[in-house]
Amino acid sequence: MKTRSFARPASAGTRAPSRYAGSKTTSHPKPSFGGGNFKRSNFRSSKGRSGGSKKGRGDRIDVSRFIRKGEIVEEKPYVAKHTFSDFPFNPQLHKNIARAGYIHPRPIQDQSIPTMLEGRDVFGMANTGTGKTAAFLLPLIEKIAKTKGLSKRETVLIMAPTRELAIQIEEEFKTLAFGFGMFSVSCVGGLPISKQIREIQMGVSFVIGTPGRLRDLIEKKVLDLSTCHSVVLDEADRMLDMGFRDDMLFIIGKTAKEKQTLFFSATLSPEIKKLTSEYLKDPAFISVVSGETAKSIDQDVIRYKGNDERLEKLHEVLKKDGSDKVLIFREMKHSVDTLAKELSHAGFKVGGIHGDKRSRERIRILDSFKQDKINILIATDVAARGLDIPDVTHVINFDVPQTYDTYVHRIGRTGRAGKKGTALTFVPQ
């Protein structure tokens, strides 16, 4: 008899002169970076985009925007209107919430869960690490638990931009759905499609995946979403950025006409506004995004002349006290591998991830970084999107990011939970 994987319990400021550039900064008007055209990627969407740089785009950003002195701001803690016990969840779900260590609802959870339980559509503006995964999983698990045993079987569809985020969502689902007998499948590229087909054919309540692989399964007539009455688009803006628009619309079109739709996005671009107007019915708008960048992040630039000096200055940063857990961003996949080899040869504990690496290898490297077996992770934006990695002390842009929105998204990985973080951007002189 074949065994299956199912839900399991969880285991118990103001700008300042650059210190590195030695130059005085001046105020400049902020350049505009519009949502632009969202076109289908030239690559198969199950593999994502190349992560490559578009020449010259990074040069548009005013470098002074990368410099800001961080400060620990004593902000008043958010006072939740509810406790988890206030939510009318199944007793088993309350047990799972306690086992997962959740005490007080975070803002996105406090504000969205009551609305979702009413069956309303929701558009939530929230960044990675704000608790949005549990915000949509909890009411959906409750919803499916109530329909269990009924003749009408329902399916939940959750779309995410990357395989890592999809797998991360499924892991949290297994923790929160423990004891319900609910099954899930992670439909992502880079992992064997045959195993995913078997899981779907055996019956699942939650389908979690990336647009490309989901579309592949639908076109193979393996995945039937006609009984899907609950749809979640997590990090919808990132999926558009990665060229998944056509796949997203195709997949949504295969779901039931009457459904609850939940959109989550860190930005509200014109394209996102258009999608919400077309696919959400009288949605509740909930935003927990505050400010451009966290005030607790010390932002600065490092100026260099030539690649040798750039690598030398990176070594200096990595050897400094306090550089305990460092996330380095690069624009190109081959650049990730090159820098990882250079740092490894220099004696640093480092790993690199990008879209061309096998899923198992990417997962292994990410786990090593989370578990502090390595303290430096190099990644492209595509590979790192949606990842929630705690206790990152430094985010380093070894290449200038293409847009300021990308910069804000990157550096938001540090300076969390009341801790101070550092963001450094290397800028050629």
The domain that contains 327 carries what CATH number?
3.40.50.300
Instruction: Give the whole-angstrom CA distance, residue 85 versus residue 105.
Output: 10
Show the domain range for 206. 84-287
> Are 264 and 350 within one domain?
no
Choose the final residue of a domain: 229, 255, 287: 287
Asked whether residue 253 falls in the same domain as residue 343, the answer is no
Give the global pTM.
Answer: 0.69
The answer to whether position 270 is within a domain reads yes
Question: Above 80 in pLDDT, residue 27?
Answer: no
Q: 419 or 58, which is more confident? A: 419
- Residues 281, 326: one domain? no
For residue 293, pLDDT over 90 is answered with: no
Residues 246 and 375 in one domain: no
Q: Highest mean pLDDT: which of 1-15, 84-98, 153-167? A: 84-98
Same domain, 201 and 348: no
* Least confident window among 2-6, 111-115, 351-355, 383-387: 2-6
Tell me: do 195 and 67 sit in the same domain: no
- Per-residue pLDDT reduced to its tens digit, 192-221: 999 999 999 999 999 999 999 999 999 999
pLDDT the model gives residue 149? 62
Of 237, 258, 287, which residue is a domain's last? 287
Q: What are phi and psi of 230, to 5 degrees?
A: -140, 120
Flag whether 12 is in a domain.
Answer: no
One domain, residues 97 and 68: no
Residue 320 has pLDDT above 70, yes or no: yes
pLDDT-derived band at 26 (thresholds 50, 70, 90) equals very low
Q: How far is it, in rounded angstroms, from Cα 260 to Cα 278?
A: 13
Q: Is pLDDT larger for residue 252 or for residue 22?
A: 252
pLDDT, mean of residues 341-346: 95
- Considering the domain architecture, whether residues 315 and 350 belong to the same structural domain is answered as yes
In tens, the pLDDT along 392-405 reads: 999 999 999 888 87
The answer to whether residue 25 is domain-embedded is no
pLDDT at 31: 32
**311 contact partners, CB below 8 Å, separation of at least 6:** 342
Return d(Cα 216, Cα 213) in angstroms, integer. 5
One domain, residues 273 and 248 = yes
Q: Is 40 a domain residue?
A: no
Q: Does any domain span residue 89?
A: yes
- Looking at residue 39, what is its pLDDT? 34
Q: Taking 70 as the threshold, does the pLDDT of residue 14 lie above it?
A: no
36 within domain boundaries: no
**What is the model's pLDDT at position 57?**
43
- pLDDT, position 383: 63
Reported for 181-186, long-range contacts at CB under 8 A and 24+ positions apart, including other chains, are 181/6, 181/148, 182/6, 182/7, 182/141, 182/144, 182/145, 182/148, 182/206, 183/4, 183/5, 183/6, 184/6, 184/7, 184/208, 185/209
Residue scoring higher pLDDT (21 or 118): 118
pLDDT confidence of residue 402: 85
Average pLDDT over residues 87-112: 94
Is the model more confident about 3 or about 200?
200
pLDDT of 66: 82
User: Last residue of a domain, which of 257, 287, 317?
Assistant: 287
Same domain membership, residue 132 and residue 98: yes
11 lies in a domain? no
346 touches 339 (CB < 8 A): no
Residue 30 lies in a domain: no
**Whether residue 257 has pLDDT greater than 90:** yes
Averaged pLDDT of the chain: 82
406 and 387 belong to one structural domain: yes
Does position 18 have pLDDT exceeding 50, yes or no?
no
Q: Binning pLDDT at 50, 70 and 90, where does residue 280 land?
A: very high
Question: pLDDT exceeding 70 applies to what percent of the chain?
Answer: 80
Count of domains in the chain? 2
Phi and psi (nearest 5°) for 135?
-60, -40
Considering the domain architecture, whether residues 123 and 267 belong to the same structural domain is answered as: yes
Determine the Cα–Cα distance for residues 232 and 225; give it in Å rounded to an integer: 13
Per the model's pLDDT, the better-predicted residue between 275 and 415 turns out to be 275
Contact 332, 315 (CB under 8 A): no
% of residues, the chain, pLDDT over 90: 55
Mean pLDDT of 363-388: 85
Taking only the tens place, the pLDDT of each residue in 310-319 is 999 999 999 9
